[in-house]
Amino acid sequence: MLENRDYTLIIDKSGSMSTPDQANGKSRWEVMQESTLALARKCEKLDPDGMTVYLFSGKFKRFDDVTSDKVAQIFMENDPAGTTNLAGVLKDATDSYFKRKAAGETKPNGETILVVTDGEPDDRKPVFEVIVNASHKMEKDEELGISFVQVGRDAQAQKFLKALDDQMESIGAKFDICDTVTFDDMEDMSLTEILTNAIND
């Protein structure tokens, strides 16, 4: 299932991502860069045309066909700042999948979207709506998966991610397409290992 699948990585670029609370005094943003590079290398093996990467805060930017040699430049040109408008970027990513699917341009095994965030979104409700709407456009459970990974220890972010994991079907999602990893779930695993596992899952 891993091959013939597309991969999209959505990275929180809000101001709090510059917090230096990671191992060896690194910031969340620095750790994110290392993990993105490792993930890009893994995705290249599964999907030679690279992955789609979004950076988001109040607005978002999209980078297509990102291979490992493009990661450093993306991080060099962008610094954490702003708020956490998750709904906007998630809608763009899911809409893009269904557009490509309608045009016959998706991979046979669908797509995995990985979202790395360190805080609760500006507004929860639209995020839930985007996911429910996406689930109703799906034909089968495994064609689209969204994995949310928490960086840092924000308690509100953790609550929000738990709700995504547990409540989607009760609020009308056709399939349970969300999977979440909170900071407490990580234990001794690095962000790189978590993201790689999310792809393997």
* Tokens 């034909």 belong to residue: 139
Which residue segments constitute the domains of the chain, with CATH numbers given?
A: 6-200 (3.40.50.410)
- Binning the chain into helix, strand and coil, the percentages to the nearest 5 are 50, 20, 30
Cβ contacts of 2 within 8 Å, gap of 6 or more: 46, 109, 199, 200
Give the model's confidence band at 1: pLDDT under 50 very low, under 70 low, under 90 confident, else very high: low
pLDDT at residue 201, rounded to an integer:
59
Query: Would you tell me the crossing angle of helices 28-46 and 191-200 to the nearest 10 degrees?
Result: 30
Q: Is the pLDDT of residue 186 over 80?
A: no
Tell me the pLDDT tens digit for each residue of 104-133: 999 888 999 999 999 899 999 999 999 999
pLDDT at 50 over 60: yes
| pLDDT over 70 percentage in the chain | 97
Q: Which residue has the tokens 């597309």?
A: 6
pLDDT grade, residue 39 (50/70/90)? confident
Question: Model-level pTM?
Answer: 0.93
User: In the prediction, which pLDDT does 5 show?
Assistant: 86
pLDDT of residue 96: 97
> Which of 17, 23, 7 is closest to 189 using CA atoms?
23
pLDDT, the chain, mean: 90
Look at residue 129 and give its three-state secondary structure: helix
CB 154 within 8 A of CB 120: yes
All residues at 6 or more sequence positions from 17 whose CB lies less than 8 Å from its CB, including other chains: 27, 28, 29, 32, 80, 118, 151
